[in-house]
Amino acid sequence: MSEIEKDHVAVRDMAWRIHDELSRERATAEDLAGLLEAFRNRIEAHFGLEERRWSGSQDSIRDRTTENWVRALVHEHRDIERRIGEILSRLNAEKEARRTPSAPVVSAIRRLVDDLCTHELSETKLFQRLVFEGA
Ligand SMILES: [Fe+2]
Ligand SMILES: [Fe+2]
């Protein structure tokens, strides 16, 4: 398994752990803040690795569709990072006042994990396009 594949597995595992923690319903704001903090570090390293790979392969084999696709993925990276930061701020504020996170924060975490899965799927499709179609 390549470095990037291992990284994808690690990111997916962490996303599922967060998902499981939310299903537990008794997860505390503090537990979730800890998990999300670790997730933020993991995801920033992962996004950095991907972006270095994408910028390293910028040559004539890339067509316009691929270029736009990569640009959109990078945009999604910034969006996901921003949202993790916002959720962490809200969780940290809540954990002082209440044991369990509020419903809007739980929904925001669920949406984040879902959107990250969609993002990862889009990357898989891009990779298939590059490998099998030679785009
Ligand atoms: Fe990505
Ligand atoms: Fe990825």
Is-contact 76 119, C-beta < 8 A?
Answer: yes
Distance 89 CA to ligand 1 centre (A): 23
Q: Which domains does the chain have, with CATH numbers?
A: 3-132 (1.20.120)
Using pLDDT thresholds of 50, 70 and 90, give the confidence band for residue 47.
very high
Distance 73 CA to ligand 1 centre (A): 6
In tens, the pLDDT along 66-99 reads 889 999 999 999 999 999 999 999 999 988 887 8
Distance 109 CA to ligand 1 centre (A): 18
Please enumerate in sequence order all residues whose Cβ is within 8 A of that of 26, keeping only pairs 6 or more positions apart, or say none: 100
Distance 56 CA to ligand 1 centre (A): 15
Question: In 24-62, which residue ranges form alpha helices assigned H by DSSP?
Answer: 29-56
The pTM score is 0.89
Q: Which ligand is nearest to the CA of 4?
A: 2
